[in-house]
Amino acid sequence: MPFMDMFEQESGQLLIDRRRHAAPLELLRFFTFHRPNPFVQLKLVWGDKDLFRLAWLKLDVPFFMIQSPPAVAGKAINGSLCGMTMVQYDAQGEVLFLHRNSNKLTGGRIRSPANEKLKATRKEHKTEMSQLNEESSPRSKYQIETYHVDEISKDQICYYIDFSEHFYAQEIANLSFSDLKTHLRRFAMDTGQLHQAKVDAIAQAQQQHRKPFRLQGVGN
């Protein structure tokens, strides 16, 4: 397969016509699960964003990439953005997908003294979205970095785009989908409660069916 100079980004959410693209999907499955995996051994790619492209390119099957690079949404902390969500656009440049890469919404609650202490001292931060200024900046200036913020969690990975003349930030509160996060959290909490109720019911049923065990003395 000849070299091809292309813009690279995370795959995030994809739209695929499975009826027309069964062959590249099968090749993608092979690239992903075949062992030993030469992609891993030789460090040829960096995640599924490359595997998708390689499968389609290898079979010479046409595909389309949205021209607007993904934005990053997250919390603004001390002048930096702790991005947790990949913001993808449609063909007209309007926000279409919000793909939460880190700090997943599970609907559960982490119960530990350290977590409660952190929660008690945590400040509320504005939620912002940073994106490339496509009118004045080339795509070569588009680069995503990662870092950690102790104010959130030691294990929390933050994605960010440097606040420079090539990017601009907007408060999520001023955008049309500002209340989406509240609805998603509510759905996640409802799902978590349903899951916990199921787990509790199974545990209770197992407890009821457990037979009592009594030790007997030797010689009895």
pLDDT tens digits, residue range 2-39? Answer: 888 888 777 788 889 999 999 999 999 999 999 998 88
Instruction: Note the pLDDT of residue 80.
Output: 74
Position 216 confidence tier, pLDDT thresholds 50, 70, 90 = low
CA distances to 4, 33, 75, 184 from 30, rounded to whole Å, are 22, 6, 38, 34
Better-predicted residue by pLDDT, 61 or 132? 61
Per-residue model confidence (pLDDT) at position 150 = 66
pLDDT digits (tens, 9 = 90+) for 185-215: 788 888 888 888 898 899 888 888 775 655 5
How far is it, in rounded angstroms, from Cα 58 to Cα 24? 8
CA end-to-end span of the chain, whole Å?
Answer: 80
